[in-house]
Amino acid sequence: MENKEKVAEALLEIADGLEKGDCKEKIRVGLTTPGSEHGEKELLKGARLADQKVDYIEPVLIGREKPAGIEHHSCQDLESAHTRMEKLLETGEIDCAVTLHYSFPLGTATVGRVIAPCSGQEMLIATTTGSSASDRVEAMVKNALAGLASAGALGIDEPELGILNVEGARKTEQKLLELQENGLGIKFAESARGDGGRVMRGNDLLLGSCDVMVCDTLTGNLLMKLFSAREGGGNREVVGFGYGPGIGEGQDGIIGIISRASGAAVISGAIKYIAEAKRGNLLEKYEKVLQEARTAGLEDILAEDRDEKTAGDEDISAPPEKNTDAEIAGLDVLDIEKARQSLWQEDIYAETGMGCSGPVVMVAREDQKAARSHLEKKGYI
């Protein structure tokens, strides 16, 4: 009898969806709950909000709190929650995920989504955590590509792209113009200021003058906090959609970022954003944009200003690979590759990445003490 009732209920849902024209396959979004400054209940509240607002979202909780009516995977801390999240993504038990304090490898950065306070317009900030490249201008060019892909995944046709007036903006503009002249489909926004131009001012941030605002990651991270926490007293993010999905070449799986200060409304928005990115085939769109950029001469354009390798770098090979389950923070992004090479010279296997607070070197836990000591000795931290 119970099975018949479930079948009948499912058929009614399908019929209702067909009648309304909104029959959509469920997107299962994993949400890790440990680590928030506002407690796990705040994240649970955000998950319930997303579940109520968007009919095709099915939240899956990963953490200590066991909510009623929502699938739950028990984990006692954030590290184990990340491990479980990655496994669920790998097996296809969840379609995408939202988490906090997660380190992406160098080459991957997140595209945030905010609401401009003076217009109510949505705007993408490319990028907000992670790092697309160690070179500033190269990173901003790649951030632009990630932003365009994100806009496409959200269904924005011909998104207008602006470049925030930060260090490297003019060089970034030049390189993007070269790509445009070589056939890459870029539509530039116009600043709302009287003298116009593709380079955006602070006023344009407030107005949302473009669909995609390109900047460096650290500036983007600061902007996200200002946009999201301006009405929450500074210690709670209450407006927006979070720091966005990690995008980079070879990125496997859509993982979106919130912060430890994110409140329920932002968590709900982040879940919605990541589900939309999944439905919009974000990673496939990024690969397509990247390939089009390469056809337009991306590698040669970036190589024009790329620093040549220092003598001897080519002779340094990586030690045997290890599981990198420990992080060392406090490095400058410009030194991160040199720091890794320096550790390799000491026969310490290391990888690079970007955490929520900046660049990190990732090493095996048993090598962490020796690696930190070496990096301190060399002046990297």
Positions annotated as catalytic residues are 356
Distance of CA 33 to the CA centre of its chain: 18
Give how far Cα 376 sits from Cα of 20, 134, 328, 346, Å: 62, 20, 11, 14
How many C-beta neighbours within 10 Å does residue 81 have?
27
Q: Are 194 and 106 in contact (CB under 8 A)?
A: no
Token pair 């509240």 is found at 45
How many C-beta neighbours within 10 Å does residue 51 have?
17
Token pair 């407690």 is found at 39
Distance of CA 73 to the CA centre of its chain: 23
Q: Which two tokens stand for residue 127?
A: 């990028």
**Cis-peptide, bond into residue 127, ω within 30° of zero:** yes
Q: Which two tokens stand for residue 159?
A: 């998104």
Q: CA 190, CA 192: separation in Å to the nearest integer?
A: 6
Give how far Cα 370 sits from Cα of 322, 355, 364, 373, Å: 15, 21, 10, 5
How many C-beta neighbours within 10 Å does residue 337 have?
17
Q: CA 191, CA 283: separation in Å to the nearest integer?
A: 29
